[in-house]
Structures are given as structure tokens and as C-alpha cells.
Amino acid sequence: MAAVAAALILAAFALAYRFYARFLGDRIYDDRQDFVTPAHELEDGMDYVPTQRAVLFGHHFTSIAGAAPIIGPCVAAYWGWGPALAWVVLGTIFMGAAHDFGALVASVHEKGRSIADIAANTVSRRTRILFMCFVLVLIWLVLAVFAMAIAGLFVSQPTSVIPINVQIIVAIVIGWLVYKRKVKLLVPSLIALAVLYFFVWVGTKVPVDFVAMGFDEHGVTTAWIFFLLVYSAIASLLPVWLLLQPRDYINSHQLLVGLGLLFLGVLIAHPNFDAPIFRTAEEGAPPIFPILFVTIACGAISGFHGLVASGTTSKQVDRLSDTRMIGYGGMLGEGSLALASTLAAVAGIGLVGACALPGQGVVENLSWAVYYDSWEHAGGNKAAAFVLGGGAFLEAVGLSAELSRTLMAVLVIAFAATSLDTAVRIQRFILAELGTAMRIKSLTNPYIATLGAIVPAMYLALAETPDPATGQAKAVGWVLWPIFGASNQLLAALTLMTLSLYFFAKKRNVWPLVIPMVLVMSVAGLALLTNLQDFIAQGNVPLVALASLMLVLLLWMVIEGVAAARRSVSLRR
């Protein structure tokens, strides 16, 4: 049953790329124009670098595919497999991919400016400042939580430490060979892929477990967070061709192979769905509507993707016609990852025997009913369902249990790490644009902007505060994380609003953008209201303030958007 569902959904993605992406490209985005892209016009060897389509697809895909499209579907499987798969499919095809494609095309037309900066001319100058402030807070939260998630996986899966860090060295060597020695990329990248898989095996034999060496677990986690954020800062200041491009391209090979093995495992194991098609939320769990939609988040549509598309990817596009594969195709890759994560949670979990769960200890015979016995466990176990259920699929292919779980952990960390690198770079660009808009010259300095990107994120990741929901001390970033799903989709809705106005001014049919905008804005707004009620009941003052502020910003920007739409209509008459 799960194998049939996987085949049908992958076929739907292929048909969507063949027909719907062409419709969007021909009728709205006009992506077949021939003009000089910012990568050529503003080429600087640092951020603006013309890049082969396949290489840039690898960078874009791995940058948008962070931990969220893995964690979100794993948590959303609590409500059964039907709603989760339906939202992944419909959201990816008609909303997320259209959003990413449009943000990339618009930014290429506007000399690589971010979608927040484009909003200044499209909506209003006030909107640009609001948009940028909204983006800054969201990226700081993403940086903090992704760094904490990776650090936690390094501690819990010490077999992943060596293969993940070897990638950095291999990527720099590949970047130097390709751009300085003019070596063709394909063969070195395939060799690099083999080297990385060899070190995955090495990692299973030589785990780097500092806790087992006698170090304090909290201290080890803190050290890894500090290392990851400092590394990301350095990586964001290096020329894009030296580390970011080659690492993401190699990672895309690794991740596509990993996804291929997962789906092959589904076909071989041919599991039934261990979960029901639909489950009514029990007492203490949030309602399926609208919370399911913002829980899956990046697996269907994500505002963060628009930041990647308009923040780094647009500065590297060689030809406008490349944007269809990179923007629309990249989101289909993300949807495929969300599909694999959902299947691992609702079908693969039933193939797992004895294991240890983060929130439940050792379980002798794992099943969906055991893993999802409560909402607290569903949310607390996060990506464990992907590692365990996906590992069971890989075992069906013939890999050992230890190697399978290491490979799954490496996939999760690799996705999150590439997003971490890219997010710091995007934050540097956003701070520079904000500095230009507000005439704060120091923010346009790349070193000062990079410090501005990582220092607040480091505070969110390392500082602790009592969690109003439980009373336990938690990192500030984890306490604020419940707001991420709704705020991320709110950002996507505001991006769709900007794109609708942008292409309407070019006299295009923008209904395929307006309809998703209204749906996503409504869902995100309702989710924020639902969250706000919970935060008030918990007495969670910081989240009450943050959710209220976002609702005010939403209302303000909708008013600005309606005013801009009226101006555009008047001009067209």
C-alpha cells in the first residue's frame, strides 16, 4: 500500500513539472526571455558567480531542504497518513513550487535583490522595513534551532561526526579543482561521493563520542553549537565557488542517492500503512486544522525558500530559463523528501524492532501506535521516526542496521547543515539591504553583518529560560520554536502577495499566485490565533507578545498590499 502511494505521488510530481511548471513559466513568469542575468552583469567572484544549472540546482535544493521538511511530517503523522500526504502533494505542486519559482524569477529580474527588498517598489517602502525585520527574526530562529538540532544529533549519533565534517574538506578541494584548475565537475564530484560514503562507513567504526570520553553532555552540545555557528560565519564570507557551491552539489548527489535508496526500500519492503488514514486529536493535542498545515510547513510551502531563491540562488543563475528546473524542480525535491519522511513515520516505523526513543526509553516492539501514543511524544521525538523508519527501509535494501541509521542521521544533518551555511549568507545580505534602506553604513560591511547574523542566533541557542509550558529550563530558541511554522508560512503568504503585485504590474494572469496567497495567509493567521490562545493559557508572555506582534504585522502588510493593488488596478485602466 505504501509503495503504491509513493509511486503515484512521485508520478504526480513528474506530471506537475511537465505541465504546471510550463504553464507558470509561459503564462506568468515568462522564463524563456534572453537577457543578461545578475550573475553576469554584476559578477564579482564572491557572491555573483554564473553557475551551471545542475550545480546551482544542487545548491538550491540542499539549501532549502533543511531539517524542517523531515521533522514536520514526522510530527504531523500523529493525525494519520491521509491528511499529511494530501497536504504534501497539493501544497508542493500548487503552492510551494509556484512560490519558489516566482521568487527566483523576480529576483533575477531585479539584479539579485531579496524578496523583502523587492517589496519596497512593489508594495511600499514601509513594507520593506517590516518585511526585513520579520525575516531577520525568522532567520535568527532558524540558525539557532538548526545549530541545536545538528549539535544534538552529533551527540546522539556520534557515528555521523566524521562523515559530516569530512564533507567540508572534500568540498574545498572540489571547488579549487573546478574553478582554479578548470577540471570538469562531474568526475571529481562522483569520486567525492564515493569518498563521503566511505567515511559514512568509517564513522560507524570510529564514532566520535565525547560524552563516552567523559565530557559533560551539556558542555559537548554547547561546544558543537558554537563550532557550527562560527563555521557558518566563516563559510558565508568565503567566495561562493570555494565551499558553498561544491559542498551543496556533492551533497545533492548524496541526498538524491539517499532518497533513491529510501524509495527502493519502500518498493522492496512493500509495507502496509501502520498508521490509520485519519486520527481524531486526543485531549491535550492541537486541532488538525489549521495546525497540521503549519506543522508540515517546509514540506509543502515555506517562506524560507523565497529567501534562499532571492538571497543566494538568484545571484548565480546563468540563464533565466534555468529557473524552472532550479525553482520549481527544487521544491519538488523538497516535496519528495517530505514524502519519504511521512512514509518512514506511517509505514517504516512498523518495520522497526527494539529501539530507544528520546521521550520513551527502550521500546521492545515499535509501532506507529506506540510511537504516537501521545502528542507530547510525537512532538518530542522530532526526526527519530525518519531515522528509525527510514533505516528500516534501507535495511530492506541490504544495509546493516547500524550503517542504515548512520546514513539516515547523516542525511538529516547534511540537509540541516547546508541550510545553516546558506542562512548566514542570506542574513548578511538582508542586514546589508537593511543598512542601505535605513542609512546605517556599518551594516553594509560584510564582517559586521556576519557578526549581526550569528551573535543573536548564538544567544537564542545558548541562553536558557524556563519554558512556561513545562517549567523546565530550555534554550530560548526551543521556547520560541512553536511560532516557527506559522511565521514561516506567513512569510510565504507575504512573498506570494509581493509576487502577485509584481507580476500583475507586468500584466500577467496572477490568479495561480493569488489563490495560494489567500489560502496560506488564512491558514497561517488562524494558526497564529490558535497558538496565541495556547500561549495565553500557558502564561507564556514572550510567545504571547511575539504572536500578537506577528498578527499586527500581518494586518498591516495586508492593508499595504490592498492599497498597492488598488494603485496597480488604477494604472492599468
CA distance 117 to 571: 22
User: Max alpha carbon distance in the chain (Å)?
Assistant: 74
Long-range contacts, stretch 209-215, CB < 8 angstroms, 24+ apart: 209/158, 210/155, 210/158, 211/155, 211/158, 212/158
* Average confidence (pLDDT) over 194-213: 87
Does residue 561 sit within a domain?
Answer: no
- Please give the model's pTM, rounded to 2 decimal places: 0.90
Does residue 489 sit within a domain?
Answer: no
Q: What is the pLDDT of residue 359?
A: 59
Does residue 553 sit within a domain?
Answer: no
Distances in Å between the Cα of 407 and the Cα atoms of 3, 197, 224, 326 are 21, 9, 20, 26
Is 217 a residue whose pLDDT tops 70? yes
Would you list the DSSP string of 281-325? PPTTSPPHHHHHHHHHGGGT--HHHHHHHHHTGGGGBSSGGGHII
Does residue 560 sit within a domain?
Answer: no
List beta partners, residue 464. 475
Does residue 497 sit within a domain?
Answer: no
Provide CB contacts within 8 A for 104, sequence distance 6+. Answer: 309, 310, 313, 314, 317, 323, 326, 327
Question: Quick count: other Cβ atoms within 10 Å of Cβ 86?
Answer: 12
Each residue's pLDDT tens digit, 243-297 = 888 888 888 888 888 889 999 999 999 999 988 999 987 877 888 888 899 889 8
Is the CA virtual torsion 98, 100, 105, 107 positive or negative? positive
| Residue 453 contacts residue 422 (beta carbons within 8 Å) | no
Q: Domain count of the chain?
A: 1
Each residue's pLDDT tens digit, 128-159 = 787 888 888 888 988 988 898 888 888 888 88
Each residue's pLDDT tens digit, 338-370 = 999 999 999 988 888 777 676 566 777 788 888
CA distance 490 to 262: 32
CA distance 424 to 422: 6
End-to-end CA distance of the chain: 54
Q: Which structural domain range is residue 107 located in?
A: 2-463
Is the CA virtual torsion 439, 444, 448, 451 positive or negative? positive
Does residue 490 sit within a domain?
Answer: no
Does residue 538 sit within a domain?
Answer: no
Task: Provide the strand spans (E) within 113-187.
Answer: none
Q: What is the pLDDT of residue 500?
A: 94
Question: How does the average pLDDT of the chain come out, rounded?
Answer: 87
Each residue's pLDDT tens digit, 531-567 = 888 888 877 777 788 888 888 888 888 888 888 888 8
Helices (H) and strands (E) in the chain, counts: 26, 4
More confident residue, 432 or 409: 432
Does residue 471 sit within a domain?
Answer: no
